[in-house]
Structure 1
Amino acid sequence: MPSSFLPSPFPPSLCLDLRAPESHLVGVRLRYQPSRRQLRFALPAWTPGSYLIRDYVRQLEGLVIEQAGVEHQPRRVGPSQWELVLPGLEPLEIRYSILATELTVRTCHLDGDHGFLALAAVALELEGERWSPHRLVLELPPGWRPFVPLPADPEGTWTARDFDQLVDTPVEVGPHPCHSFSVAGVPHRWVSWGRTLAGNDPVEEDARWLADVEQVCLACCRLMGVERPAADHYLFVLHLNADGYGGLEHDTSTVLQYGRRRLARPDGRRKLLQLVAHEYLHQWNVRRLRPAELTPYSYGQAVVIPTLWFAEGITSYVDQLLPFSAGLGSLDGLLEDLGADLSRYLLTPGRAVQSLRQSGEEAWVKLYRADAHSPNNQISYYLKGAVLALVLDLHLRRHGSGLPAVLRHLWQRLGRVGRGYREADLIEAFAAGAPDLATLLPAWLDGVEDPPLAEHLADVGLSLESRRSETVWLGWQLQGRPEGLTVQRVVRDSPAQRAGLTVGDELLALNGWRLRQSEDLKAVLASVDPGAPLQVLYVRDGQVRSADLQPGPPAVEAWSLRIDPGAEPAAEARRQRWLALECP
């Protein structure tokens, strides 16, 4: 805190009025007593854990300041920053509304069924008050309950120790049931908004759900080498909607979004447990064991973070192993999930363009702004980070160590004391377990070559098996629409790109045969000679065009992970320890 600022004798109080949910407007009243006449304040531009400038100010309206019965209009000095010279130091009230119409885990949504607030999109940061306590007050419709991951005050409000903790507090409200359980004696709550396809509360429908979540949480503790969670209390909020997927981590809570149709699939429950594991582990990795660039957070601007491969990649790798290590799920299911991620990685051409370090550094402008061309020039640090984490784990095991040992070392050395890590700290920790990683790891981070997957998988008796397409390779991905087939994606350096086709082209005919749906295309391709040129008729910008398309031989369309029947017996023992997240 700058020395020129003194904490207010009456800390900021944020009152949120959600009593008109049909308007989708959250009424905000921010009250405090200033300690100086120069008033400056700003609304955060992003929320920690989601590396995209979201410009939350787009949803703010009706800003006014009232002091001693007189209204003042502040002067805007930036897109989301204001200032005002006050006539005196009497208590003041800042009023505005937030339009809450976007249902994600990092935005705000309010309707007749529930309300969800990501407070980075709601709470103004007052200059000089960042490290002051902030009081939170909620005004709710009749019958609604608040679910807030802060200890409640006796008067039914909440107090965050500072602005950072306030921003880190997701707020869910509504007439939802709340289910309590504990993890190693630490109280936990589970709140669901939304129903399963059968119309039930998901926890009430699944009698074993909370017990299995508890086991996943305990597996996270074992992975980090601790007896108890890092948080003294914890809140899970699940938004069960039509087709959503995602989560956002907080110090003492997480918000999950999951599709009810996903949950009804054979692998739906397993995938949701993996999402639980991912976000729960973040209370260590990311929240407390944090990149130095995020210590402290800078809410008004993007910050280059070279180590997102560790923050998200490591977590994405172990989130599949954690439920299995807790005794939940089958080996076949786990290998299917690991294989699906490896297949997605190997079929992404952008991995040969963007390095893993670049993926993290460019997260603000690429990963969260993906379009139809993104697979050609970028690779997700979640995905490649998970692939590298697998290789690192197996490489460490060759040297008598393992990824769990590295995580525990970093937690004890840095995470427990809140010291942010830099890439040099990570490389040092990995090299302590395998000295050659001091050279190999930087090369893998900077290069665009695949890490040595096959040889490390062989250590645990696994191999990758490819499946090729039954037809020639054209290098496009099509989308069926009522008007016909449209090009949704074109692979770089593919036959489709060389023929001049691009995203958005509407296909009319192939070799003189009319195309209306995918089955029409399959029928034509099944009848042509492999390698023979094809004539494509398509529409672009209202004009009918034609192109000659020279197909390539059938390409790999998927990879799967298989147990190698010819592997040495010791490989099975190594595989069992690896999948159980046990170090040698």
Structure 2
Amino acid sequence: MELTLDLTASRQHLIRCRLRFTPIHQALELHLPVWTPGSYLQRDYVRQLQNLELVQAGAVVPLVRREPSVWTAQLKPLLPVEVNYGAMATELTVRTCHLDDDHACLTLAALALQVNGARWTPHHLHLLLPEGWEPFVPLPCLDGPTEHRWIAASFDQLVDTPVEAGPHRWHGFEVHGVPHRWVCWSAVGGDPNPLLERYPQLLDDVAGVCSACCRLMGEPAPAAADYLFVLHLLERGFGGLEHDNATVLQYGLEELAKPGGYRRFLQLVGHEYLHQWNVRRLRPAELTPIDYDRPMVVPTLWFAEGVTSYYDQFLPRLAGIGTDADLWDDLGAELSRYLLTPGRLLGQTLRQSSQEAWVKLYRQDAYSGDNQISYYLKGAVVALVLDLQLRRAGSSLAAVLRALWQTHGRWRRGYSEADLIEAFAAQLPELRKQLPAWLEGQEDPPLHEALHSVGLVLVPHKDTAPFTGLACSTSNSSLSVQKVARHSPAEAAGLCVADELIALDGWRLHTPSDLTHRWQEGRSHSLTIGRHGRLRCLSVQPAAPAVQSWRLQPDPDGPAAALALRTQWLQLVPC
């Protein structure tokens, strides 16, 4: 199997694809994946495909579309086949394809056709590049690095390979003897590696975070034999996608300029790097093997992503970057976000959040916060509670993670939810009942009690303005409703998302501040709105100011035993 990708039509944003192979069946099937591992949303990459044509022995063979992303053909004797097609590359995310004059970033799930019977056979990749471009591909080179040819052991390894190309500079470093490459493309122009200008210690810090992941897992070296970091530095944006021996990251300069922005960037690095153990090799059974044709219900995504999200905040600190106060700020912000999400109590259980990832988490709307909770977010909260409860019993979450790595991850043996529960119960028997209850119930796990055990408290901070549960924004000189909180005065008044806010007590409204400074607690206000072209008058009675945020801080009255446990906890590694 040889897949050739011609990137020379960069100004058309068009990837010209050619797949050559010798079939082993006369009844041929071609499948294009509908999703890419690590991002649980059906993306239907077939939307970008065009001009699909199959040629054998110089003649075009008709293709029959059996499903939107599946084609069949009846071949003549088993002679070599060539499949030609184009793919538009205009989506700049870590899970799609983007091609322009500056660079190419390719998700091969969007480009590689799977041939029936050839999934486990070697696949060759060949790139045709614009002049002056260099490719970055985490696969073994074939015929030397200047030939732009690589070999994947299987279709799975090919699909797991991110491709970055462009006139980029790159930097190398090692983590416990394992070579790493760092390549950055800056969408905002200028120096392609502005992070290194601003933070000359960047590569040392990244290497430190990578080493901290190894320490956490109790491993002398990374799981991968080599590793590629690809960073897209944007004006604004945030995200990452993990691969067996690579990751693609996106980060915004606006976020970087905020207090703690660099630290949060290193947390993103740590999150995706830790995934080479937890998710890529230590993998849910439902993803072993992966079915690229359809979504699979995975009830344990809370462990795959939640546990990783819990640890990513600690990894820079474990690498000696930042202070304990920084950690309290970051962890407190996540706990505040969790406690201020109504959907954690009203919408989903943690298991349901994992199971419904395909249809809810990646399809947010104005009401999502009221009827769902992220398995990243609540999974991290449950991980925190589990870690502290295990530590009080002389164990730790890291001990569970390491044990699962030895029994499942090292052998790429998929785990079930029952396997996870048994792994926790082996460290603390009472978790055999407690953990399923936290997964199945909508109540909070004992978060405050867990924090108290390490001498920390969450302190509520109330808003200064009366509570209405109404969020609004200005667009095209019109003030409109963005969100209506569940069980709020705004909901009781009958407000809906997209309502135009026109006047309050006869005063014309133009900006959100026109509202906030006029609300009075306990008083009934007359709010004039526009909905579907008609004016309406609603009565809104604001309530007492609500909690605006929670802050995590040490308890000055905490006992010495709590301080000792906190010191041990901050080291992350098992007792």
Do the structures match in fold with TM over 0.5? yes
Q: Is the 8 A contact 1:195 1:201 kept in 2?
A: no
Q: Is the 8 A contact 1:150 1:160 kept in 2?
A: yes
Q: Do residues 232 (structure 1) and 221 (structure 2) align?
A: no
Q: Give the whole-Å Cα distance in 2 for the aligned partners of 1:537 and 1:286.
A: 51
**1:258 match:** 251
Which residue identity lines up with residue 499 of structure 2 in the other structure?
D
**1:417 match:** 411
Which residue identity lines up with residue 172 of structure 1 in the other structure?
E
Unpaired segments of 5 or more residues in structure 1?
A: 1-11
TM-score, scaled relative to structure 1: 0.96
Q: Is the 8 A contact 2:136 2:165 kept in 1?
A: yes
**1:194 match:** 186
Which residue identity lines up with residue 533 of structure 1 in the other structure?
S
SS of the equivalent of 1:524 reads: coil
Q: Is the 8 A contact 1:513 1:524 kept in 2?
A: no
Q: Give the whole-Å Cα distance in 2 for the aligned partners of 1:213 and 1:299.
A: 32
Q: Do residues 204 (structure 1) and 196 (structure 2) align?
A: yes
Match of 1:127 among 116, 136, 141: 116
Q: Is the 8 A contact 2:18 2:84 kept in 1?
A: yes
Match of 1:319 among 306, 312, 332: 312
Q: 1:161 to 1:306 in 2, by over 3 A?
A: same
Q: Give the whole-Å Cα distance in 1 for the aligned partners of 2:183 and 2:388.
A: 37
Seq. identity, %: 58
Match of 1:18 among 7, 10, 13: 7
Q: CA deviation at 1:494?
A: 1.3
In the alignment of these two chains, the number of paired residues is: 570
**1:59 match:** 48
Q: 1:40 to 1:373 in 2, by over 3 A?
A: same
Q: Is the 8 A contact 2:188 2:235 kept in 1?
A: no
Alignment deviations for residues 513-551 of structure 1 (CA, whole Å, 9 cap, x no partner):
1111122112212xx3x2011111111112111101122
Unpaired segments of 5 or more residues in structure 2?
A: none
Q: Is the 8 A contact 1:243 1:259 kept in 2?
A: yes
**1:570 match:** 561
Q: CA deviation at 1:509?
A: 1.1
Which residue identity lines up with residue 183 of structure 1 in the other structure?
V
Match of 2:547 among 514, 536, 556: 556
**1:381 match:** 375
Q: CA deviation at 1:196?
A: 7.1
Q: Give the whole-Å Cα distance in 1 for the aligned partners of 2:115 and 2:512.
A: 56
Q: Give the whole-Å Cα distance in 2 for the aligned partners of 1:296 and 1:192.
A: 32
Q: Is the 8 A contact 2:343 2:369 kept in 1?
A: yes
Alignment deviations for residues 128-151 of structure 1 (CA, whole Å, 9 cap, x no partner):
000000000000000000000111
SS of the equivalent of 1:146 reads: strand
**2:396 match:** 402
**1:83 match:** 72
Deviates more, 1:133-142 or 1:186-195: 186-195
Which residue identity lines up with residue 190 of structure 1 in the other structure?
W
Q: 1:254 to 1:536 in 2, by over 3 A?
A: same
Q: CA deviation at 1:397?
A: 0.6
Which residue identity lines up with residue 9 of structure 2 in the other structure?
A
**1:535 match:** 526
Q: Is the 8 A contact 1:189 1:235 kept in 2?
A: yes
Q: CA deviation at 1:65?
A: 0.7
Alignment deviations for residues 169-205 of structure 1 (CA, whole Å, 9 cap, x no partner):
0000000111000000000000000067975613531
Correspondences of 1:204-353 after superposition (within 5 Å) = 204-205=196-197, 206-352=199-345, 353=347
Q: CA deviation at 1:154?
A: 2.0
SS of the equivalent of 1:420 reads: coil
Q: Give the whole-Å Cα distance in 1 for the aligned partners of 2:431 and 2:545.
A: 37
SS of the equivalent of 1:535 reads: strand
Alignment deviations for residues 442-497 of structure 1 (CA, whole Å, 9 cap, x no partner):
00000000111111101111000001111211111111223232110111221111
Q: CA deviation at 1:554?
A: 1.1
Q: What value does the CA root-mean-square deviation take over the aligned residues? A: 1.2
TM-score, scaled relative to structure 2: 0.98
Q: 1:52 to 1:195 in 2, by over 3 A?
A: closer
Runs of at least 4 residues off by over 4 Å: 195-200
SS of the equivalent of 1:368 reads: coil
**1:7 match:** none
Q: Do residues 31 (structure 1) and 20 (structure 2) align?
A: yes
Q: 1:186 to 1:174 in 2, by over 3 A?
A: same
Q: Is the 8 A contact 1:43 1:122 kept in 2?
A: yes
Match of 1:42 among 17, 31, 34: 31
Q: CA deviation at 1:88?
A: 2.4
Q: CA deviation at 1:73?
A: 2.9
Q: Give the whole-Å Cα distance in 1 for the aligned partners of 2:187 and 2:47.
A: 31
**1:183 match:** 175
